[in-house]
Amino acid sequence: MVHKKILPIVFWVLLWQAVSMWIAQDLILVSPCAVGLRLLELMQEASFWKSILFSASRILGGFFLAAGIGILAAITAARFAWCRALLTPMTAAIKATPVASFIILVLFWFSSEWLSVLISFLMVFPFIYANVLQGISDMDKQLLEMGQVFALSYGKKIRYLYAPQVFPYLRAAFATGLGMCWKAGTAAEVIGIPDGSIGERLQEAKIYLQMPDLFAWTVVIIVVSLLVEKVILWLLDWCDRSNKRGAFW
Amino acid sequence: MIRLQHVSKQYGEYIIFSDFSYEIEDGARLCIMGRSGRGKTTLLRMLLNLEKPDHGYIEGIKDKKIRAVFQENRLLPDFSVRENLRCVCRTKQQTAQISKMLEKLDLTAWEHQPVSVLSGGMQRRIAIGRALLAESDILVFDEPFSGLDLQTKRNMVQVILEYAKEKILIVTTHMPEDVALLGAKVLQIDETKF
């Protein structure tokens, strides 16, 4: 099982190494060994960790804000048709608008320090909203009737009926949103260049033609993004399992 | 007492009930019989307030706690047997009855298993147990014994009669033997429409 996951990665890294050796110009394609060494150097600097903390806190802040508001908006939209009518064109517009337009607009209105929070929020909100709304709309009508006949309280309806059925939709939205918020968030930072962010480090690497730094920071973004995604999805699954086991009550 | 007064119900052109009146005494056991598609389930759904009569009205069900076994089990598939019973309990006393109910349903060994892994007959027993465990004045069972073998059916009848004492019990069935086992009156609804 582990082999099936690791071997393809090893293959692509080896291919990368071969191509970089064939090109033999670090300015065009740096080798994975050079990137690894640079990464080890960076990890010894406090500013490396501060940059990760700075970007992660803002990008994930935007993500969780989008998750909270998206879930509430979906519940309201499922209950009130007027809310659904209001939100549908707004979320469609957000989805269709290029992220670069949002970045420039936000830079006009706010400080670049909070840019990645807003961009992360804007990228994730439509997915959370749409998926949770779909989950509520697809609720099993027979189970809802059962809840009505047995006069289940609101809390029990959420726990026994809604949570298990909406969970797969929410999980799918989280999986998509977590990848997107990192991509959009760091892109925003590269344009807005907030002090102490990963985006600023990427921009510096570009300006000073530091290819090992550019690749090292890209690897950092990939690793942090995947780690965060794994942890959050694991927590989500744990909550779902615990709810079904009755561990919370 | 439940009074159905001049109840009419139709779906499109198909008349299910027309000017149908009937009374069900307090504490009565009633078996509703009739061929498929004759309106047994529709009648139960009207009693459960899941559907309204087109004309007429039903007295004696407002503010009454009516619990049901649906034709489909309508259980929570990912939750354990115990959680399926616990979800309808409102008081600590009711929750304390779960273990006893599991014994009566012969499902103690399965109490922590998700319902989705159990057989159809086991799931049927859980649906019956859930309705009996919930606080109720009226019990409405739609073909509760479907999928149960004769011995299990007999056991379940004993459990139902024990828990349904002094409550109105309404059961739909195709089987005359169910009427005898439950000691119930019969309402034959084939003649209720034109």
A81-135 pLDDT, tens digit each: 999 999 999 999 999 999 999 999 999 898 888 899 999 999 999 999 999 999 9
**Which residue of chain B comes nearest to A162, CA vs CA?**
B76
CA distances from A159 to A59, A162, A163, A248, B179 (A): 29, 6, 5, 10, 38
Nearest to A150 among B78, B88, B114 (CB): B88
CATH 3.40.50.300 fits B26-51+65-192, yes or no: yes
Domain ranges of chain B: 26-51+65-192
Confirm if B177 and B150 have CB atoms less than 8 A apart: no
Instruction: Tell me: pLDDT of A229 over 60.
Output: yes
* Exposure b/e, B144-179, CB count within 10 A at least 16 = b: bbebbeeebbebbbebbeebbeebbbbbbbeeeebb
CATH topology of domain A50-245: MetI-like fold (1.10.3720)
Q: What is the pLDDT of residues B22-77, one digit of tens each?
A: 999 999 999 999 888 888 999 999 999 999 999 999 999 988 999 999 999 999 99
Paired residues of B69 in beta bridges: B141
Query: Interior CA angle at B9 toward B147 and B26, to 5°?
Result: 65
* Residues on chain B touching A152 (C-beta within 8 angstroms): 87-88
Looking at chain A, the whole-number percentage of residues with pLDDT higher than 70 is 98
- A95 touching chain B per CB within 8 A: no
Strands lying side by side in the sheet with B2-11 = B14-24, B2-11, B55-59
Q: Name the DSSP letter for residue B109.
A: G
ipTM: 0.93
Q: What is the pLDDT of residues A160-174, one digit of tens each?
A: 999 999 999 999 999
Q: What is the pLDDT of residues B143-181, one digit of tens each?
A: 999 989 999 999 999 999 999 998 999 999 988 999 999
CA–CA min distance B66, chain A (Å):
7
Nearest to A246 among B65, B68, B86 (CB): B86
CA–CA min distance A144, chain B (Å):
9
Amino acid symbol at B181: L
Q: Quote the CA–CA distance of A122 and B1 in Å, as a whole number.
A: 59
